[in-house]
Chains A and B, each alone.
Chain A
């Protein structure tokens, strides 16, 4: 098998054994990018030179006998919402076109420290607002399974890069499902760690109380290795949890779920769910039972209010977080002709620099926080947040993990929901509760929908700091399904 077909763990082993150099691995992936990314458009920026430079440095350190981590020399695609000193950082927005930050995000720093070779920056919905990557100012990314369809979003560049073998690993951020949903619709693994388990420092904020960096990979173990590489306490992020990273790699290697109590959330079914999605989900639940898990159905009644609460809380925080993009200190400036005031220039800059979805959410958030509306909208949404946390708490008294489909439908065609924000927002129906309560949750492939032959994801939700449970159950499902399918789901994807 070619180097690009290997998993991160396999590449790590080959590199450690000296059977292949980091430069060779990086070059193989850069070649793959050159070959397919013209069609997929996963990357906004490919840093070929800096990648090879990093690879050479890893090779040199290894040659010098240095003890390196399990992912040293393994390539990675990095979502373009994390700051990088050596590459532009745009958050998918015109307002940051060509912007080069003077500092690295904590996640970026930790990737570098782990010896991961950053191939480039991946496409996303502008400021991570979206579920399709169509909201990027730099054009959409295409789903490797069907180039006419969306790769999910907002981390669609990262999911597509991994699903099209341009990188074995990538980073994402998950605010309402932006890792799990893209992973589900591209047939790969995507994990949202516990909120505060991975640092937000240098992650360009969408919604501060929800944003969570996490890994993408083609299998559960790789995701766990990457999770471990960049997670953990960071003094630069006040909301970072001061606790050890849960034993995710061990859990991914073990994958034993005998006796585990699994809860099926009753609310995540019915109208709006694609038939094929529900069918594959039910099979996954049966599979869990057959592997020795005790499955119960339970109700989390306030989950049905998660979507509206999210579409108040996230835009409210975003309206404030995005105020700094005003053309005064960095980024785009429009209309400064010497006669206009700062106020006018700010308004012209923001009107020209932000896309429609961003403007929509800024205004929605501004509305929800306005005097006279605060209590009914933002205030009520925060109460729903409390109710959702209580539902999780009650559920986790009965079960160890909760499961649901990751997303109600498979990948939809590019353009289909572009003019219908409400329809677009439904993509995150099942993923949002875990963001509101800060829980850990993962999406693993569980088959193809009969009606369109596209990937379906199984979401596994665990309590706060129970990230290892996601990996344990994910690994069990993955192994059983691979045995059944004779390999990973991704081998069903058409060749590019």
Chain B
């Protein structure tokens, strides 16, 4: 643990310093089997049930590379506009650690499979190009649980117990080049990048990218340089950043922390820091100054990877529509503004709106419901929009009921509330809550009669030509019907009864 020096407020930090970002993202591939053996990769299996001589590093066992993992890595590289190596090797990264059975990780060193690409992300209506340094393939480690000690953390534990089910799951590492010039948007840029990357992985179908299960993990590098300077500062590497929100918080927090130290005349230590999800604080880990010597060398148990140009072109041709292009197409189709599209993207509403439109709903209606009532509710409850207990099909049904005149917007909102409360399908909620518009002319007529009788003043005004006063009478009808009356029809009937034409 290091200094608990107070952080500098973000605005002040940005006035004095410019941040430079770097992001290193690990994505667990969704292959059926591990990287170098046939063990299954499913998450959540009982401990040490997905292990074999190879992934346990028993004496004599040898790795054989998973073809799908190679293919997925190349596809990721192509989607990130990278150059695919014509010939490259896996390498051994040697260091002792109990969750790594061989005490070396099979990874890639100076010959990554994919290099020099980019990913464009949009922040605040601005496109930021994130340059990709490399995409390489490696294997995951096992998982240690620390026993004893106060916190269950590694420090102070009495001993640890290790489950190697995760050891050997294919892991793609995506490393950006340093990203300067993001200025005060740095935290948002970092978040937007990881979000975009996650969508890209989903679109490619190479990973389920569940951050909460660790299938997408992020290390965030941050350094600061004083305004006006062109020399980059010393960077820190914050590990263990496991949600999109945390990416943003980690960058912001590290800017504030480093700014305070630098402003004090202090020096940033090149180190690994750990992000604590609960507090949003980072603490110091291993100092990189006592540098590890990983003794990388080409993995002799595996042969070089030499993807043929034909195969690479075939994979390129088979890439799906990429998320940013898809968003552009949908924006055109839906005819919405950049700002609205960005709002939908940030809210995670695009797929939901698209699915709703797919049910035959006009885009404007689909957007109205998801970005209005439902986004508000998601926000209130802190749930991602996609996790609300309501489906695009159900929204489509509600829109249909409104269009047919069976519901008005106010009733429709009540229907949604009922669906979200688990009261059943929209039709079931309408039925159970009795929310159908009063369309029986006799019933409506008798309500109007009551309202006219009770509002002589307004009736007089309307008769004398002040047709605007009819609004109060319609309001009275709506109130008396508890919102179930068809307001337009009520207005027609009122004017008819009073002998004026609207």
In their complex, do chains A and B touch, with some C-beta pair under 8 Å? yes
| A binding-site residues for B, Cβ under 8 Å | 82-83, 89, 91, 96, 99, 101-103, 105, 200-205, 207-209, 235-239, 316-317, 319-320, 323-326, 328-330, 338, 342-343, 346, 366, 369-371, 374, 378
Neighbour of A346 across the interface among B94, B96, B296, CB < 8 A: B96
* 7 A–B pairs (Cβ distance < 8 Å), ordered by A: A83-B59, A103-B53, A205-B301, A239-B300, A323-B102, A328-B162, A329-B57
Give every chain A residue within 8 A of B303 (Cβ-Cβ).
238-239
B46-61 with Cβ < 8 A to chain A: 53, 56-61
Chain A nearest CB from B479 CB (Å) reads 73
- Cβ of B285 under 8 Å from chain A: no
Q: In the complex the two chains form, what is the Cα distance from A204 to B58 in whole Å?
A: 9
- Cβ of B421 under 8 Å from chain A: no
Give every chain B residue within 8 A of A338 (Cβ-Cβ).
158-159
Neighbour of A205 across the interface among B60, B65, B158, B296, CB < 8 A: B60
Neighbour of B65 across the interface among A201, A238, A320, CB < 8 A: A238
Neighbour of B293 across the interface among A82, A201, A370, CB < 8 A: A370
Q: In the complex the two chains form, what is the Cα distance from A138 to B103 in whole Å?
A: 26
Give every chain A residue within 8 A of B94 (Cβ-Cβ).
319-320, 323, 369
| Chain B 279-304 near chain A by CB (<8 Å), digits 1 or 0 | 00000000000000101110011110
Give every chain A residue within 8 A of B159 (Cβ-Cβ).
338
Nearest CB in chain A to that of B51: its residue: A329
Known: A238-B63, A238-B64. A324 touches B57 (CB 8 A): yes
> How many positions in chain B have a CB within 8 Å of any CB in the partner chain?
31
Known: A101-B53, A326-B96, A328-B98. A316 touches B60 (CB 8 A): no
Known: A324-B101, A329-B101, A366-B295. A200 touches B62 (CB 8 A): yes
Please give 17 more A-B residue pairs, beta carbons under 8 A apart, in addition to A91-B59, A102-B58, A370-B293.
Answer: A83-B60, A102-B53, A200-B62, A201-B62, A202-B60, A205-B301, A238-B62, A238-B63, A238-B65, A238-B301, A319-B94, A320-B297, A323-B96, A324-B103, A338-B158, A342-B160, A370-B295
CB-based contact A329/B56 at 8 Å? yes
B68-122 with Cβ < 8 A to chain A: 92, 94, 96, 98, 101-104
Q: In the complex the two chains form, what is the Cα distance from A186 to B64 in whole Å?
A: 37
Q: In the complex the two chains form, what is the Cα distance from A200 to B64 in whole Å?
A: 12
Q: In the complex the two chains form, what is the Cα distance from A319 to B60 in whole Å?
A: 15
Q: In the complex the two chains form, what is the Cα distance from A371 to B297 in whole Å?
A: 11
Known: A238-B63, A370-B295. A320 touches B58 (CB 8 A): no
Q: In the complex the two chains form, what is the Cα distance from A220 to B87 in whole Å?
A: 41
CB-based contact A343/B60 at 8 Å? no
CB-based contact A99/B59 at 8 Å? yes
Q: Which of B98, B102, B162 has the most CB of A within 10 A?
A: B98
Tally inter-chain residue pairs, CB-CB below 8 A: 103
Neighbour of A342 across the interface among B98, B104, B295, CB < 8 A: B98
Give every chain B residue within 8 A of A343 (Cβ-Cβ).
96
Give every chain B residue within 8 A of A369 (Cβ-Cβ).
94, 295-297
Give every chain B residue within 8 A of A378 (Cβ-Cβ).
297
Neighbour of A96 across the interface among B57, B59, B158, B301, CB < 8 A: B59
CB-based contact A203/B60 at 8 Å? yes
Q: In the complex the two chains form, what is the Cα distance from A374 to B158 in whole Å?
A: 38
Nearest CB in chain A to that of B97: its residue: A342
Q: In the complex the two chains form, what is the Cα distance from A203 to B101 in whole Å?
A: 17
Give every chain B residue within 8 A of A342 (Cβ-Cβ).
98, 160
Chain A nearest CB from B129 CB (Å) reads 33
Q: In the complex the two chains form, what is the Cα distance from A96 to B58 in whole Å?
A: 11
Nearest CB in chain A to that of B158: its residue: A338
Nearest CB in chain A to that of B36: its residue: A238
Q: In the complex the two chains form, what is the Cα distance from A369 to B61 in whole Å?
A: 23
Nearest CB in chain A to that of B144: its residue: A342
Neighbour of B300 across the interface among A89, A202, A317, A319, CB < 8 A: A317
Nearest CB in chain B to that of A237: its residue: B62
